[in-house]
Amino acid sequence: MTAKPESAETVAPFAAELRDVVVRYDRDGEPALDRTDLTIPAGTITGLLGRNGAGKSTLLSLLAGFRRPTSGEVLVGEPGSLEAAYENPWASMNVQLVRESGDVWGDERVSESLSHYELLRPAWDADLAGLVLDTLEVDRCTKYEALSRGKKSAVAAAVGLASRAPLTIFDEVYLGMDAPSRYAFYDLLLADYAEHPRTIVLSSHLIEEIERLFEHVAILDHGRTLLSEPAEDLRGRGTSLTGPADVVARHVGDRRVLSEQRLGRTAQVAVLGSFDAAQRAAAVSDGLELDGVTLQDLFVHLTATDVAPAQPGSGAPVAQPQEER
Amino acid sequence: MTTTLEARREAVADHERRATRAVTQYAVGGTWYIGIWYFVVSVVAAVVVITIEVRNGGVGINPAAGPAGSARFFLFVMAILLPLMITPVHLAAGGTRRTLTRGFLRGGAAVGLMFAAVSTLLVVVQPVVLGWLDVPVVGDPFPILTYLGTQVALCIVYVFTGNAIAISYYRFGGWVGTAVLLLLLLPPALAEYATTVGLVTGLPLPSPAVVVVGCAVALAASATALWFMFRDLQVRPRVG
């Protein structure tokens, strides 16, 4: 085996862009992606959210060059020099898509598959792969097929982290893990991301527990980009009020309620829209605590069936519910 | 921290070499992993059959039949299985369709040569062993190099065709895949006709020109089919 090139460790984090992308699996069926535009900024952890069938996996497989779009452009690369993702060796060697299935040999020992990845991935870190497997208690001498679903997910997580690809994509890989394993994975991911900055895309339905990782969020709905913006901006689209229920109700007024929790006389209500300085001061003086809302509450609201999807060809549009202020 | 053009070119070339080599090694290693047992079992079966025939009065044995002549069919089956196992893994690991194609072309050529060589060796050894046992050898004698050449062509054509059939079914599904299968079987049929050592043994022996041209066309056609199937392979999504 020849030594890997020195450039392997010096590739900048990749950005990704979809321009007017359509994907159809059947000629007459609904498109999986329908004139989708999306930008994934380089050097961020981006959360890709969407309901079942929204087109997340299709979109991610485009970024990895697993397939080409029916029409439109899919570009990846270092900022300022994006290029087509499909059948482009530079893109392929620097983009790692990890699916829940793991994309490893089922009837071989885990170590055999890892060896194949090590051979092909320029920045592969075998020590990190070992660390992830040890932390998540996976025996690499076991055949992949013999592992439980959670351990299979752990193998996928190890592949994704150890590849250190400038664009690393995790497509629901951690769903099979139990809670301690998932949290261990998040910690490993954050630690390695801090040490080796790259672009990471996380697709998950476990929004509540993973949203703390997101710096950028994109939401897909019915094959279209509903929004794509920094996570902080998105959290600022709503406000959470906590305090005596009657006081909270007075300040909520006719705002759209995203979620509501009560414990005795105390209520916590998440509403759509922000409070201006005067409204905020009034609420605080009445003894309320104000905070941002969770992405999960916003996600549920934004992807509810009564919110119209973005219009095609309008860039990366933002849903505009009537009640938003 | 933008990669220079020179560094990038070097990295891509190195990556493609690695990826192609990985597929080649997988194709060769995967085939031999089971292939060694194929030869062992085939030879044992041949010995049992010959022993039974000798004990029942003795009949003539054609050395070109048996394990030596059926290697290509084993390769054909293995060639259908291997691409389905490595393709998603290879693309996920950063390989491309081009490196898959190159790897399978090189791997197919390598295992074709190896299996043809072993088959030829069996053909050489078998009459000697049969002579020790006083079993008459039937069939026309033929130059070993001619036999080796035709076996090489047949084995490689069958491997390439098997690879193409696997990806054809993966890409097109059952109905269209079966329709395409009929087309994909034309190169091995041509090779069989040109060499007359396979399924169409009743035909008259073609001229050397027919053998050479037929094998060359069959090789080119099967390699083209393999390339065509791999070049636009779309990996299926696992979830919606």
Structure confidence by residue, pLDDT tens digits, B126-135: 778 777 777 6
The stretch B138-162 carries a mean pLDDT of 86
- Evaluate the CA torsion angle B26, B28, B29, B35 in order and state its sign: positive
Chain B residue with the nearest C-alpha to that of A156: B92
Inspect the interface and report whether the beta carbons of A5 and B10 lie closer than 8 Å.
yes
Give contacts of A101 with chain B, Cβ < 8 Å: 238
Nearest C-alpha of chain B: how many angstroms from A232? 27
Give contacts of B239 with chain A, Cβ < 8 Å: 57, 99-100, 171-172
Nearest by CB: A103 against B89, B234, B240: B89
- Helix axis angle, A149-163 to A110-120, nearest 10°: 20
Cα–Cα distance list, B173 to A129, B100, B177, B178 (Å): 36, 20, 5, 8
Nearest C-alpha of chain A: how many angstroms from B87? 9
Nearest C-alpha of chain B: how many angstroms from A27? 14
Nearest C-alpha of chain B: how many angstroms from A196? 13
Inspect the interface and report whether the beta carbons of B7 and A105 lie closer than 8 Å.
no
Inspect the interface and report whether the beta carbons of A7 and B96 lie closer than 8 Å.
no
CATH 3.40.50.300: which residues of chain A?
A: 13-232
Inspect the interface and report whether the beta carbons of B235 and A67 lie closer than 8 Å.
yes
pLDDT tens across A88-113, in order? 999 999 999 999 877 999 989 999 99
The stretch A203-212 carries a mean pLDDT of 90
| Percent of residues, chain B, with pLDDT higher than 90 | 56
pLDDT value, residue A278: 93
In contact, B103 and B226? CB cutoff 8 Å: no
Instruction: Catalogue the E-assigned strands of A204-302.
Output: 216-221, 224-230, 238-244, 257-263, 266-272, 289-291
Domain ranges of chain B: 5-231
pLDDT value, residue B95: 95
pLDDT above 80: residue B1: no
As to burial, measured by CB atoms within 10 angstroms (0-12 exposed, 13-18 middle, 19+ buried), residue A28 is exposed
Polymer length of chain A: 325
Nearest C-alpha of chain A: how many angstroms from B103? 14
User: Which residues of chain B have a Cβ shorter than 8 Å from any chain A Cβ?
Assistant: 1-4, 7-8, 10-12, 14-19, 22, 26, 85-86, 88-99, 232, 234-235, 237-240
Mind giving me the DSSP string for A187-204? HHHHHHHHHS--EEEEE-
Q: CATH classification of A238-292, choosing from 3.90.1720, 3.30.70, 3.40.50, 3.90.320?
A: 3.30.70
Inspect the interface and report whether the beta carbons of B96 and A92 lie closer than 8 Å.
yes
CATH 3.30.70: which residues of chain A?
A: 238-292
In contact, B64 and B143? CB cutoff 8 Å: no
User: Quick check: ipTM above 0.90?
Assistant: no
pLDDT value, residue B59: 59
pLDDT tens across A273-302, in order? 888 899 999 999 999 999 888 888 888 888
Euclidean distance between CA atoms A95 and B159, whole angstroms = 31
CATH of domain A13-232: 3.40.50.300
